[in-house]
Amino acid sequence: MNLIVDIGNTRAKIAVVDNREVVEQIVVEDVTSDIIADVTHRHTAIHQAIVASTRANAAQVAKMIEEYVERVVAFNPATTPIPIGNSYHTPETLGADRLAAAVGVAALYPERDAMIVDFGTAITIDYVTGGVFRGGNISPGVTTRFRALADYTASLPLCTATEEVLEYGRTTREAIEQGVMRGVEQEIRGYVEDFLLKSCENCTIFTGGDAKYFVKRIKNAIFADCEPVIFGLNRILEYNAEEL
């Protein structure tokens, strides 16, 4: 049984994986000793863990978890062995979540090339082809775009994501909501269409907190019902255990 800790920009996910199945998952603001103690108390069969973080504190959290788990891996995209190739030119600056998601998707769809769209604080569009992480692009996420409009203008209100689809806004709030949502939609639609032109066998994976708003808007995309980052971190943990 494995403990997976994925620390993102705004929150952390802690998952317990048994035979590649998530048996428990919680979301917290910060990973504390009390939380880890509680999880490991409920799941006494946990024998190894992996920690990934976009906040540069993976090693610190891993050190804390060592008090409760026999073996802990602090995932570093530049140095931790992974079961796929990595052609990113600056792995030391590569987000752990991006590379972990690539590993997860490569394991889930081993016979297909994939584009991974993660709708989070930032939107990342990454590619795994021929069993190699090729890199990708980063743009502002949905909430980030709404905040930018509110913060950098004098009178525009702070809006949030909406499932409503309108041709044009009839109020300032609707105009902002539709402008951001349709702007992201058209941006990602362009990526999807370009990727499918390369091969009809390619697959596009949507994940992240805001993915639910776009999976219905954009055809030819697969919504990841199991989170690729969690699945990928679990695969990396198992791969490193095999290497011992």
If asked whether residues 102 and 203 sit together in one domain, one would say yes
If asked whether residues 46 and 86 sit together in one domain, one would say no
Q: What is the mean pLDDT of residues 130-154?
A: 97
**Domain count along the chain:** 2
If asked whether residues 66 and 180 sit together in one domain, one would say no
At residue 243, does pLDDT exceed 70?
no
If asked whether residues 197 and 242 sit together in one domain, one would say yes
- Cα separation, 44 vs 62, in Å, equals 18
97 included as an active-site residue: yes
Strands 71-74 and 122-129: unpaired
- How much is the pLDDT for 244? 58
Domain boundary among 47, 74, 101: 74
- Could you tell me where the beta strands, DSSP code E, fall in the chain? 2-7, 12-18, 21-28, 48-53, 71-74, 85-86, 114-119, 122-129, 132-140, 203-207, 222-223
Q: What is the mean pLDDT of the chain?
A: 94
- How much is the pLDDT for 20? 87
If asked whether residues 124 and 205 sit together in one domain, one would say yes
Tell whether pTM > 0.85. yes
Domain of 58, in residue numbers = 1-74
- What pLDDT band is residue 57 in, cutting at 50, 70 and 90? confident
Task: Read off the pLDDT of residues 213-227 as tens digits, 9 standing for 90 and up.
Answer: 999 899 888 888 678
Active-site residue, from 6, 97, 126, 210: 97
In percent, the amount of the chain with pLDDT more than 90 equals 85
